[in-house]
Amino acid sequence: MRGKGVRRAAALALACAVMVGAGGLLAPSAQAAGTTTRQQSTATPVGTEVGSVSVTRPDGTVAQIGDFQGSSYTSLYLWSRTQLVPGGPYGDWQQVSSVGLNFQNPVLSAAADADGGLEVFTDLYETGSLVRIHQATPNGAWSTPAAFGPGSAGIPRFFGYPVLFQKTDGTLAFFEVYQIGTVPELYVNEQGSNGTWGGFTDLGAGPEPESVGVPTSVTEASNGTLTAVAHLWDASSGYYAEISELAPGGPWGAWQSCATDGCVNG
């Protein structure tokens, strides 16, 4: 059942064949420093596509972001291209970064900020860290990859890839399972009204002995509060739990157990 006044939207996270990450504490509209020039521009990326994501921006144009593998199996790099006009042809592919991605676990999650700049979360080859790469302005230069997470927390990838949810005001909420101690727990980070990322909030492991994975759905109520529904990772298919904000931007309430269709706000 769905509660009244709840806007359901598909999570914007898109997992490629494997994993993703991100870093940095300012959204493109709020950070212009620390950017790098594009490495290459070409009509066809070098190598074979491993996975890709399509993101619709506020102006109606679609951006494609993809992982492409070069001449060796370890040479996996990120490329992007954007439509010149809504529904029209695409511009050339641009190499986002010369830093190699994790070819063993190539994951990709992406979304557009309220101003149209792109946010990409992926996993690096050398460090295995979840990182954020973003545009300082729409169609602008890309930042250098920067770690994105609560401190030096590890990422237990089998709990799911990063989930991005766009609110009605255009700001983003980021959900991912991190592990600091012995138990994996779900964390959330929400952009402020000016597009800056806030701190990470630990939502815990859920209401049952089995920890929750990343959200299977995120909804926004008419008052701006979010509700996340997640499957219990090591439970049978019918076991879900939900957690809701008590006010827009937090704090969050307690976890509630629910069956497949029993989540009030999911």
**pLDDT per position as a tens digit, 151-164:** 766 676 667 788 99
Average pLDDT, the chain: 77
237: Cα within 13 Å, side-chain hemisphere: 0
Q: What pLDDT digit, counting tens, does each position of 194-234 carry?
A: 889 999 999 999 998 889 999 999 999 999 999 999 998 87
Q: What is the mean pLDDT of residues 22-38?
A: 31
Query: Max CA-CA distance within the chain?
Result: 53
Given a contact cutoff of 8 angstroms between Cβ atoms, the answer to whether 255 and 263 are in contact is no
CATH number belonging to the domain at 6-258, selected among 1.10.150, 3.30.200, 2.120.10, 1.10.1740: 2.120.10
Residue extents of the structural domains in the chain:
6-258
β-partners of residue 252 are 245
Higher pLDDT among residues 246 and 34, named by residue: 246
Residues 6+ away with beta carbon under 8 Å from 75: 47, 69, 100, 103
Work out the pLDDT band at 36, boundaries 50, 70, 90: very low
Work out the pLDDT band at 80, boundaries 50, 70, 90: confident
Structure tokens at 80: 């992007």
Mean pLDDT is lowest, of 49-58, 63-72, 204-213, 238-247, for 63-72
Most confident of 137-146, 211-220, 235-244: 211-220
pLDDT of residue 77: 74
Q: Is the pLDDT of residue 131 over 80?
A: yes
pLDDT of residue 215: 94
